[in-house]
């Protein structure tokens, strides 16, 4: 079974044969990889020549050309196969790597493909952010540029505001504040006074002070009556004598 995403690019396809999955091991994984329906397998390689001549894989070292070797194995879940160009018994040049996970074969991406994919992902994210930011930008000849976030304003309006509980002040706090305000008033008396709400404040110097009422003349007879009343109040009423019957 082969699933294609990008037909022209082997990095976008995978291949699996479910009948091989239960018997995959270090000895059978190369035979599994050399299936003719596998799109990653090159039938002109030296492995195919060795297989047709019924020779062992040790003869690959004596040949020149493209070959496949088992590079790493972690049975039964992971196998890594390398495609390489053999130039001599001691000199090879890697061409591609393939990894098999749970029987599914994928081609490992090269460094250029990884960098290209990451750059495209970053550019797409930056472009999307720029387009979204431009949708909130507004311009007017008299005001210039500004940002208008309508969705954020609607969310703030619909969001219930938590009411803060006001704690009552203590008697000590009220008395202390009153004492401080009185002290400040004495040190810095007001220079302007607003007699009625809405009126213009008037300097204190221009306010006319009302004359204090003169003390009324008291007659001498009334003074003696007041003195007698005060002395009587101080001494108290005379004691009553008990009458003998």
How is residue 163 written in tokens? Answer: 């009411």
CA distance 83 to 207: 107
- On whether both 119 and 132 belong to a single domain, the answer is yes
pLDDT at 29: 93
Q: Is 202 part of a structural domain of the chain? A: no
- On whether both 82 and 136 belong to a single domain, the answer is no
44-69 tens-digit pLDDT? 999 999 989 888 888 888 899 999 99
Name the residue among 95, 103, 44, 36 with its Cα closest to residue 69. Answer: 95
Check whether 101 has a pLDDT greater than 70: yes
Check whether 41 has a pLDDT greater than 80: yes
Looking at the whole model, is its pTM more than 0.85?
A: no
The CATH code of the domain that includes 32 is: 3.10.450.580
pLDDT at 216: 53
CA distance 60 to 46: 7
Mean pLDDT of the chain: 79
Among 26-40, 88-102, 164-178, where is mean pLDDT lowest? 164-178
User: Domain range holding 127?
Assistant: 109-146
Higher confidence at residue 86 or residue 183?
A: 86
């Amino acid at each position: 079974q082969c699933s294609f995403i990008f037909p022209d690019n082997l990095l976008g396809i995978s291949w699996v044969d479910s009948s091989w999955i239960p018997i995959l091991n270090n000895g059978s994984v190369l035979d599994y990889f050399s299936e003719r329906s596998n799109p990653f397998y090159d039938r002109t390689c030296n492995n195919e020549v060795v297989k047709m001549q019924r020779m062992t894989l040790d003869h690959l070292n004596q040949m020149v050309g493209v070959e496949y070797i088992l590079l790493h194995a972690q049975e039964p879940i992971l196998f890594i196969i390398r495609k390489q160009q053999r130039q001599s018994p001691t000199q090879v040049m890697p061409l591609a790597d393939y990894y098999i996970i749970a029987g599914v074969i994928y081609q490992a991406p090269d460094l250029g493909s990884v960098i290209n994919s990451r750059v495209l992902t970053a550019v797409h994210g930056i472009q999307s952010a720029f387009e979204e930011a431009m949708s909130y930008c507004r311009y007017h000849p008299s005001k210039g540029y500004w940002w208008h976030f309508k969705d954020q304003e609607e969310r703030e309006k619909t969001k219930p505001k938590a009411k803060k509980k006001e704690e009552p002040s203590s008697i000590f706090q009220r008395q202390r504040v009153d004492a401080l305000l009185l002290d400040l008033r004495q040190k810095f008396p007001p220079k302007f006074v607003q007699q009625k709400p809405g009126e213009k404040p008037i300097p204190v110097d221009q306010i006319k002070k009302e004359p204090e009422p003169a003390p009324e003349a008291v007659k001498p007879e009334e003074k003696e009556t007041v003195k007698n009343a005060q002395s009587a109040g101080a001494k108290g009423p005379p004691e009553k004598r008990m009458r003998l019957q």
